[in-house]
Chain A
Amino acid sequence: MILDILMGGLSALKEYIALHVVTCLIPAFLLAGGIIAFTSRDIILKYLGVKAKNIISFPLAAISSIFIAVCSCTVIPVSAGIYRKGGAIAPAFILLWVAPASNLLAVIYTGTIIGYEMAGARIITAFVTAFVMGTVMYLSFHKEETERMIAGEKGGNDDKKIIAGKDIILLLLILFSLLSPNYLIIKGPYLYKVYVFTISISITFLYAYFVIKKDRISNWLKETWWFVKLIFPLLLMGVFIVGVIGKILPQQWIEHWLGGNSLRSSFLATLIGSISYFATMTEAPFVDTLMKLGMGKGPALALLLTGPGMSLPNMLAIIKIFGLKKASVYIVTMVILATLSGWFWGNYIFRR
């Protein structure tokens, strides 16, 4: 029995990690490292801090979330900073939600494991729910915010660019190495994917070698290595636990409580995701395992969003920074929105 459970964990490791290291994880980490190394995040944040109109600041906050942080732990100080500096409450909360719920690494991994349909749904839903939540936060707290507002623009306003043209090409090449193996070789032996990957990543590194300055390359590789060191152990452990849980959980339970696309299943999936902590990327194999055991696609989406997006420790930190009132409005709004989106996608968009 115990041996069986351990084997479950090991086979999950093989299925989710070994098969994806070369063609998904390596380029994904390189891309994330590149974004951190080559974009000036402080400039993006400056745009968010100023009193921009909602129609600009909402989408800006959502899109820049992708570039700023990967897990909920790093996004909290950033979000707190935006809130304190410019009093922009809605963008602060949008960042807090979108950065973990639909970050680059996790979305790429979701696409590889569960499918690109689900990855797309994850991004779209994260954005839509973020805009609704941002509006709720704005309407609820707008008045007290304007009283509290402090114009805190510190530091010199130098004309740095967000990203240089040469660096964009490098990022696009990495993106190409990431996508080409999986799109050019849709059906075919894994080895072919490795061939395609080897060619495209070689082009990428040749480009970097001849065009990008040495210290910037080393900076990029250093940032990449940070991601690997930080996330890979958590991913290994998480995936092992996922395999074990998959062996232990009875299929009937999953089918009963999380099957189909009812509001109840979607709500339960949201609850599980909001309370428990998922290290970035581990939510994808977890949801995949549950789907194989009978979880509906709608609840799966809800769990993918709230899994990394919210957790108990994350809620406590939010309460500490924003106060109980704002945190409660945020948490309740997100639980309702996630439940509704799971139900909506499950019934109207994911057709079987």
Chain B
Amino acid sequence: MNYSSEYSPPAPSLKIKLARPFSDHSLELQAKLDTGADMTVIPQYVVSELRLIPASRVSVISFDGHKVWRYTYFVNLSLNDFEYKMVEVISAQRHDALLGRDILNRLKIALNGKTLSFSLLDP
């Protein structure tokens, strides 16, 4: 897969599918691989469109140590041929998703910045 040039500099990004639990109601969107993120982040509009129900609260620490709390949601997430049920995510005002280490640590990821390409495997 190729890095997306929609980001500057280009970033590893791919299409994911998010679905409301116990429902066929789903949508696809772009997600950027973010090894720094402890948890996957989804855009706020997805919460509204899928009518996700908050399940918990976490304290989120950003890069400058700033701390805010956010509601979490359980969602079914799939990418390529991989499917993950009941992934706990937080939402933010953004257009794409961030795939955090909660998902990335389940995969073998190879990033090739030289060729701006990457691969995801589930060994």
A binds B: no
